[in-house]
Structure 1
Amino acid sequence: MPNESKRLSSAGWADLRHREGAVMNYYNDVANNCTYGVGTLAHLGFCSAEELQRPVSIAQVNAQLATKVRLTEQIVRSNVRDHELTQDQFDALVSFAYNSGESGSRDTFVAANSGNNALVASNMALCVYVHPRDAQGHRLPPRRVNGLVNRRREEAAPFKQGVR
């Protein structure tokens, strides 16, 4: 497998931390899911009043981030086995999958595995919607998030280099 030894680079770590931000307590993300730290999902649905008061430590955030990054790296490696990625492309796919999840990244992985960089960038650009939840936890209609538009532009950039 051409990507089996790849790991998120130092620049990739910095980019991921910047894109995700770090919040040292529990909060409701743009989809109304209880989240903390560097985009770590605590659970689907709103945080309880107790959770919103709960601080998290830097050690907790860093441990959760490291665990999720290692898992996401493995997901990228196992889904892109046939086409060698550049380090920048690997970093971008890790960032994308960290945010979109394995199932939300599936079509993008298929395109990357076949070496279709233009389709990778196109698929990434489509993933700018979230499904917020109401107070009962039901999914609401999708909502476009401008922050995701900018993030996807950054993540797609390594796949656009040299593509006409």
Structure 2
Amino acid sequence: MSMSPSARTRMRSTEKDKYHYYNDMGKSKGHCTWGAGILAHRGVCTTEELGQAVSAKMVGLEFERRVLEAERAVRRNVTVELNQEQFDALCSLTYNAGPTGALKTYSYVNRNDFSGAAGNISKMIKVRIIEGGKARYVVAPGLIKRRAEESAPFRLDESSKAKK
């Protein structure tokens, strides 16, 4: 199974293209990111990185590479049958949170606990930032809508099972 073209398009529109490096939570906060929400590394960008431009071609190629990586991670970690919407949602989650960040959700899915998976996805709206040398977790507003969309296919599956 591969991520559907419509899900790729939706995710690409969520991950706004930026042709430079930036800190994903604002000035001197979050993680160094570039392109279509592509993590360069954890922690803020250096001054040199902030001045580094990237091309549209580089963004497109890296986006596609990371989507393929997310698909492989979902196929490798999920052992139950998924419908297309569920696979797409897990690929989106994995693209954003990484395979390690998605492990708990995979675990719920593998136990056929789709309600638990939906609940876990919905809770994944905070990111770790370091301010003044201290780490703390803050809600990332952009993740609220994204997590609602990613959890929806697992909520729909539960409601349809309940009707049977």
Instruction: Report the TM-score when normalising by structure 2.
Output: 0.89
* Residue 17 (structure 2) pairs with residue 17 (structure 1): no
**1:49 aligned partner, one-letter code:** T
Q: 1 CA distance for matches of 2:83 and 2:138?
A: 32
SS of structure 1 residue aligned to 2:39: strand
Within 5 Å, which residues of 2 pair with 1:13-162? 13-30=8-25, 32-81=30-79, 83-134=80-131, 140-162=135-157
Aligned alpha-carbon RMSD (Å) = 1.5
Contact 2:114 2:157 in 1 (8 A): no
SS of structure 2 residue aligned to 1:163: helix
Structure 1: any 5+ residue segments left out of the alignment? 1-5
Higher strand share: 2
**2:30 aligned partner, one-letter code:** N
More contact order relative to length (CA 8 Å, sep ≥ 6): 1
Contact 1:33 1:133 in 2 (8 A): no
Q: CA deviation at 1:12?
A: 1.2
Q: CA deviation at 1:115?
A: 1.9
Q: CA deviation at 1:162?
A: 4.1
Moved over 4 A (4+): none
